[in-house]
Amino acid sequence: MLNIIHGADFHLDSPFSGLPAQRAVQRREELRQLPLRLADLARERKAHLVLLSGDLLDGQHIYQETVQTLCRALGSIPCPVLIAPGNHDPWSRQSIYASTDWPNNVHIFSTQSPEKVEFSELNCTVWGSAFLSPHLERSPLDGLCVPQDGRLHLGCFHGDFSLQSRYGPLTREEIADSGLTYLALGHIHQYSGLQREGNTFWAYPGCPEGRGFDETGERGVLFLQAEPEQVKEEFIPLCARKYEILPVDITNADDVLTAVRSALPSDSEKHIFRILLTGEGEQPDLSLLEQSLAPFCYGLTLRDHTHLPQDLWARREEDSLTGLFLRAMWDKCQQEPDNELYQLCVRYGLAALENREGGAL
């Protein structure tokens, strides 16, 4: 049985442009530690192979300390490491893949057509390819059909299931026809779970560190145990920080700040939150609330999804400008109760009519 670690989409040196400059620098440094955590895991699990399926780097602008840390980390792994460059880090003669003196245990695929690397001592063959530019409009598995010779045949590729994709479109039929024991894929940032087409197992591990609210929750790599016709997998978290979207219902809350703090996990200071205020109540002061919550989170944004209190609508019966305004908005809000723009219009309209703070946009 072969022990394999499968990772992808590290996106080292991501700009983290959505964070303040100092925090962005810190996040890039934390991302730079991912290969070191990967190396620790490979030693701990006694891996026979490490497969990295593309987008290890985020782009062409790579800091020298990133290259040095990456080489040191991968070189410390006591087994072969195979890298299939993807659309964000394509292989070229000008890329760091070609210009860097990599450790002897690291193999970087450099052809668009599948090439193979034999590991006789492991009774295993690894097939892989590289993006040679930011786009690949044909399948990375094009024409691949491995021999049925009793060896384990593993694939390390970057690609996408959408046939309209410009990033290595592939199909489930191609996976089944490949004859591979396991196909290690990269490009999709969500963990797919272990899948199977024909006799071929495959998976996307997702990115091991979230970089935005489209990459929430635990992030990591896969530890696999493979033998002919059988693959077992375990998802192993590697991320230093998580992005989380946290709904907080403030209906009947005496104090919104207390309600939000009660909803935050105990280790909230390590992570980055988008807090969605829901339920029924007066419009919260988001600026003051964000300032009060900042010490309890590494990063924080607030969104107001609350609805106006039902008893407020009783004022639409008033013979006043406020009543006239509420009657006009009542019908719209009843027709589209989840339309947040209407809710916001009512809040600002009432504040303006009553000369309260918040009436000016």
Q: What is the pLDDT of residue 17?
A: 83
Helix, strand, coil shares of the chain, percent, nearest 5, are 30, 25, 45
Domain hosting residue 344, numbered range: 243-353
- In this predicted model, what pLDDT tens digit does every residue of 265-307 receive, in sequence order? 999 999 999 999 998 877 788 999 999 999 999 999 999 988 7
**127: β partners:** 116, 155
For the residues of 286-298, what is the DSSP string, one character each?
Answer: HHHHHHHHGGG-S
- For residues 157 and 211, membership in a common domain is answered with yes
> Angle at which helices 340-353 and 321-335 pack, to 10 degrees?
170
Kindly state whether residue 361 falls inside one of the protein's structural domains: no
Rg (CA), the chain: 26
Q: Is residue 114 part of a domain?
A: yes
Asked whether residue 306 falls in the same domain as residue 174, the answer is no
Report if residue 7 sits inside a domain.
Answer: yes
On whether residue 279 sits in a domain, the answer given is yes
Domain boundary among 189, 209, 237: 237
Indicate if 173 and 307 belong to the same structural domain.
no
Asked whether residue 218 falls in the same domain as residue 261, the answer is no
Residue 166 CA: distances (Å) to CA of 84, 162, 270, 334: 17, 9, 36, 44
- 177 and 157 together in one domain: yes
> Of 214, 237, 260, which marks where a domain is finished?
237
Low-confidence ranges of the chain (pLDDT < 50): 357-361
Whether residues 130 and 211 fall in one domain = yes
Say if residue 169 is in the same domain as residue 75: yes
37 and 164 assigned to the same domain: yes
Among 219, 237, 255, residue at a domain's last position: 237
How confident is the model over 285-294, as pLDDT tens digits?
899 999 999 9
The pLDDT score that the predictor gives to residue 83 is: 98
Cα-based distances in Å from 354 to 31, 32, 269, 284: 50, 53, 39, 17
Measured between alpha carbons, how far is residue 267 from residues 16, 30, 291, 298, 303 in Å? 22, 17, 19, 10, 21
Domain count for the chain: 2
Q: Are 90 and 81 in contact (CB under 8 A)?
A: no
CATH, residue 117: 3.60.21.10
Residue 35: inside a domain, yes or no?
yes
